[in-house]
Amino acid sequence: GAVVSQHPSWVICKSGTSVKIECRSLDFQATTMFWYRQFPKQSLMLMATSNEGSKATYEQGVEKDKFLINHASLTLSTLTVTSAHPEDSSFYICSARNERFPPYGYTFGSGTRLTVV
Amino acid sequence: DAKTTQPTSMDCAEGRAANLPCNHSTISGNEYVYWYRQIHSQGPQYIIHGLKNNETNEMASLIITEDRKSSTLILPHATLRDTAVYYCIVRFGSGNTGKLIFGQGTTLQVKP
């Protein structure tokens, strides 16, 4: 079946530094990927839609310059949290639209726990 | 932006069927209903999805009312490992631009 690999699974960084999170679709190509953020005891909040070869589409209220998304290939999208601050600490999850393997639909990565100190 | 309404929490006895309801009264004719679950600190796991007809797979059954305004996810024999947050989602948009907007979900607690 379709698998989405997310790396790293957790990261701790200092305030003011940037962190890159990778999301890879294994065994299938994903022209569209999605990035979510989840705070403790809350639901997933969609941050942006990542489109291969074009600019990402951000949801209202999400800072484009803060959360840089690159989708340079059909199997890889990256999210870079720039100049991270403690309030950016969260669980970040990516998802890829799978049209190759049943069940067709949306496959999620295992998430990245970001802690900014 | 969530278009679904679910109870905040439910309990179920181990070995019994868990029936999780979802209201989606504003669903459009070509919008699918998806069910995912999330176990603590993991990414959401796909369970099942459907458009009009009832669906069944190895994990669960999905019953969609004839008017499509509500659905029920059925876990036939719940186990302790089914304890999770269950999300009912109506896909927002279509084709390659379709995206999943999560609501608050139902926390299912399976008890021994």
Do A103 and B48 count as a contact with CB atoms less than 8 A apart?
Answer: yes
pLDDT at A39: 95
Three-state DSSP state, B33: strand
Q: How far apart are CA A37 and CA A46, in angstroms?
A: 7
B34 min Cα distance to partner chain A (Å): 9
Distance from CA of A60 to the nearest CA of B (A): 11
Residue B1 pLDDT > 50, yes or no? no
Q: Name which of A37-46, A106-115, B21-30, B54-63 the model is least confident about.
A: B21-30
Using alpha carbons, select from A77, A67, A46, A69 the residue that is nearest to residue A114.
Answer: A67
B37-41, Cβ contacts within 8 angstroms, sequence gap of 24 or more: B37/B82, B37/B84, B37/B85, B37/B86, B37/B87, B38/A44, B38/B84, B38/B85, B38/B87, B38/B105, B39/B83, B39/B84, B40/B84, B41/A91, B41/A111, B41/A113
Contacts of B101 in chain A (CB under 8 A): 46
Lowest mean pLDDT segment, chosen from A7-11, A68-72, B6-10, B12-16: A68-72
Q: Write the pLDDT tens digit of every residue in B68-100.
A: 999 999 999 999 999 999 999 998 766 666 889
Q: What is the pLDDT of residue A1?
A: 74
SS (H, E, C) B58-91: CCCEEEECCCCCEEEEEECCCCHHHCEEEEEEEC
Per-residue pLDDT of chain A (117 residues; tens, 9 = 90+): 789 999 999 999 999 999 999 999 998 899 899 999 999 999 999 999 998 888 999 999 999 999 999 998 999 999 999 999 999 999 999 999 887 766 678 999 999 999 999
Measure in Å the smallest separation between the Cα of B40 and chain A Cα atoms. Answer: 10
User: Is residue A114 within 8 Å of residue A9, measured between CB atoms?
Assistant: no
On whether the CB atoms of residues A66 and A58 are closer than 8 A, the answer is: no
Residue A21 or B1, more confident:
A21
Looking up tokens 């176990």, which residue turns up?
B39
If you search the block for the tokens 């190895």, which residue do you land on? Answer: B58
Cα–Cα distance, A41 to A45 (Å, whole number): 12
What number is the average pLDDT over the span B40-49?
A: 92
When CB atoms are compared, the residue of B38, B46, B97 closest to A107 is: B46
Is pLDDT of B31 > 90?
Answer: no
Q: How much is the average pLDDT of B49-70?
A: 94
